[in-house]
């Protein structure tokens, strides 16, 4: 136990100790392509520098031009003339004005676009929240170290990271600058070798209501400008597609939604906040929209993709509410009005064709990843997995589970950590990798980097990934239901007694039938308990009318 504790402390110290070079030099990768990557380099002093790079560690066959920085201002440098599907190594060489010789920065690495059939991994995090009491910086550092240990090709952050709208009446451009700047050394601990993609959350404040407030002096304009200043997100070119609209006040293209392919997968990052039908502080229902330009781009991107796997990312379905598949049935995402039975899509989105969820179904989207609710949850609707991503920084390990678990109808788990996704030509495997502070592992109950939940699509045996033995699956459909549910079972060895409980634990129904009448139950969330002589299984379902 003592040795485990010492190892965890060493890992923790490694993450928190930025080191002399890292204090002087901050590097963040972004926009990797088949033949290039962008390095955002930040110095606090006036510095002359250049980057050298090559495909062999310690051997640098190429170098950029020499540049002189403006102190405190990141310089974006493209490392070009690279080969596809290849690992590269780079280091920054620099000297402060009036000194010599050049100092050698640490060597880092990255990978260009993977070829079809190649194997790779990426990580996902959401809702860091260091700007409020929900987020613990020390635990976030542990989670970042865990992600680095996975050696992913890139990391996708699903927003609520910078927190520009947390105190909107007190926000200034200088404060917005500070909120974005504070993450540079933190992300720089791994993003020098893990390219960083950002997806906007609601607390970034980049949406219609704030954009309209005395422009350009508002949190949406400031937030966009400082985000782009510090972090190189994709913009439309010959590798990425995305938002081509040029916005005023020096914003240019806002780099808020984009798509690309990598190996056998299509990656689509959405922005569910920048456009609303009603530019009020709290839009509702049909007021929430991704806007027709983004909808058209999304539709075209999905329909024209030939990728084997399709992954879509957003901070949350429709930008409001809690949950995954329950929210996916309504308004622009699902097409139904608030009553759950009246179809409103044609009325409120004339000429659009079909709701977002139906686009996913018709075009074979495998997984939709979202944040916002601060827990792990996995659901499925019409063959599309709705995957809620946990916080990477919740030192209570309970925030999302206590507040939002009731909004989900399937697998939910507490804790803090990130998702690790393996992709190969034969399978996709998703792991929930938990993060723990060293003090929270002393009793041996939990271990940092333990895999709390794992599932796969396809056959991962040839990928060299250990296959988890799956439990017999329980399917309750329709879910949500109005009058009748059917219980589908697979791999069960005996007949089960079926019980239905409400959320207070009161038993409401007991039956042996797989077809259960729920017409007398009021709308709400219920628990189906399948009880056998030796085994017992539980499944949430929703009654909705």
* pLDDT tens digits, 506-544: 789 999 888 899 999 998 888 887 777 656 677 788 888
Q: Provide the residue count of the chain.
A: 545
d(CA 526, CA 503) in angstroms, rounded, equals 6
Q: Is the pLDDT of residue 467 over 70?
A: no
d(CA 156, CA 191) in angstroms, rounded, equals 11
Q: What is the pLDDT of residue 405?
A: 93
Domains of the chain: 16-30+34-111 (2.60.40.10), 120-463 (3.60.21.70), 474-543 (2.60.40.10)
Q: What is the pLDDT of residue 199?
A: 98
Say whether the peptide bond before residue 101 is cis (omega within 30 degrees of 0).
Answer: yes
Q: Supply angle C-alpha 529, 535, 536, rounded to 5.
A: 15
Q: What is the pLDDT of residue 472?
A: 52
Which two tokens mark 306? Answer: 């030939």
When mean pLDDT is compared across 65-79, 375-389, 466-480, the lowest value belongs to: 466-480
Q: What is the pLDDT of residue 9?
A: 34
- pLDDT band for position 463 (50/70/90)? low
Contact 49, 64 (CB under 8 A): no
Q: How far, in Å, are 41, 50, 62, 135, 445 from residue 88 at the CA level?
A: 18, 16, 11, 34, 40
Tell me: the pLDDT tens digits for 133-159? 899 999 999 999 999 999 999 999 999
SS3 state of residue 314: strand
When mean pLDDT is compared across 250-254, 268-272, 430-434, 471-475, the lowest value belongs to: 471-475
| Averaged pLDDT, 39-43 | 97
Q: What is the pLDDT of residue 470?
A: 43
Q: What is the pLDDT of residue 7?
A: 37
- pLDDT band for position 488 (50/70/90)? confident
Q: Is the pLDDT of residue 464 over 60?
A: no
């Amino acid at each position: 136990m003592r040795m485990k504790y010492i190892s965890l402390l060493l890992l923790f110290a490694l993450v928190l100790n930025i080191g002399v070079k890292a204090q002087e030099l901050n590097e963040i990768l972004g926009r990797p392509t088949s033949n290039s990557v962008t390095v955002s380099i930040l110095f606090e002093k006036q510095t002359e520098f250049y980057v050298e790079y090559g495909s062999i560690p310690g051997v640098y066959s190429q170098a950029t031009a020499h540049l002189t920085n403006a102190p405190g201002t990141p310089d974006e440098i493209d490392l070009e003339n690279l080969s596809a599907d290849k690992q590269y190594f780079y280091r920054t060489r620099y000297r402060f004005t009036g000194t010599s010789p050049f100092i050698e920065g640490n060597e880092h690495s990255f990978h260009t676009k993977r070829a079809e059939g190649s194997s790779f991994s990426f990580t996902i995090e959401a809702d860091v929240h260091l700007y409020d009491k929900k987020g613990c910086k020390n635990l976030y550092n542990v989670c970042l170290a865990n992600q680095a240990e996975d050696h992913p090709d890139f990391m996708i952050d699903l927003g609520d990271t910078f927190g520009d709208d947390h105190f909107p009446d007190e926000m200034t451009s200088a404060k917005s600058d500070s909120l974005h700047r504070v993450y540079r050394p933190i992300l720089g601990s791994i993003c020098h070798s893990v390219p960083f993609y950002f997806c906007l959350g609601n607390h970034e404040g980049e949406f219609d209501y704030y954009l309209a407030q005395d422009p350009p002096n508002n949190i949406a304009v400031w937030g966009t400008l400082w985000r782009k200043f510090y972090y190189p997100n994709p913009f439309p070119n010959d590798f990425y597609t995305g938002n081509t609209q040029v916005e005023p006040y020096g914003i240019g293209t806002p780099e808020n939604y984009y798509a690309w392919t990598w190996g056998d997968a299509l990656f689509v990052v959405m922005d569910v906040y920048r456009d609303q039908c009603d530019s009020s502080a709290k839009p509702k229902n049909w007021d929430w929209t991704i806007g027709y330009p983004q909808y058209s781009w999304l539709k075209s991107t999905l329909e024209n993709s030939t990728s084997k796997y399709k992954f879509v990312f957003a901070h949350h379905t429709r930008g409001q509410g809690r949950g995954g598949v329950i929210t996916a049935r309504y308004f622009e995402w699902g097409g139904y009005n608030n009553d759950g039975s009246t179809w409103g899509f044609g009325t409120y989105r004339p000429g659009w064709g079909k709701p977002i969820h139906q686009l996913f179904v018709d075009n074979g989207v495998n997984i939709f990843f979202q944040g916002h609710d601060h827990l792990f949850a996995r659901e499925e609707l019409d063959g599309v997995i709705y995957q809620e991503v946990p916080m990477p920084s919740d030192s209570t390990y309970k925030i999302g589970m206590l507040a939002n678990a009731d909004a989900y109808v399937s697998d939910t788990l507490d804790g803090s950590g990130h998702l690790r996704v393996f992709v190969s030509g034969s399978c996709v495997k998703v792991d929930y990798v938990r993060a723990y502070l060293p003090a929270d592992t002393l009793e041996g109950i939990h271990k940092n980097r333990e895999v709390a939940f794992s599932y796969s699509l396809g056959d991962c045996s040839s990928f060299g990934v250990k296959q988890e033995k799956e439990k017999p699956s329980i399917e309750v459909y329709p879910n949500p239901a109005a009058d009748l549910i059917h219980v589908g079972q697979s791999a069960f060895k005996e007949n089960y007694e079926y019980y239905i409980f409400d959320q207070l634990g009161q038993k409401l129904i007991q039956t042996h039938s797989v077809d259960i009448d729920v017409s007398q139950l009021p709308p709400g969330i219920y628990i189906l308990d399948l009880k056998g002589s030796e085994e017992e299984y539980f499944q949430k379902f929703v009654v909705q009318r």
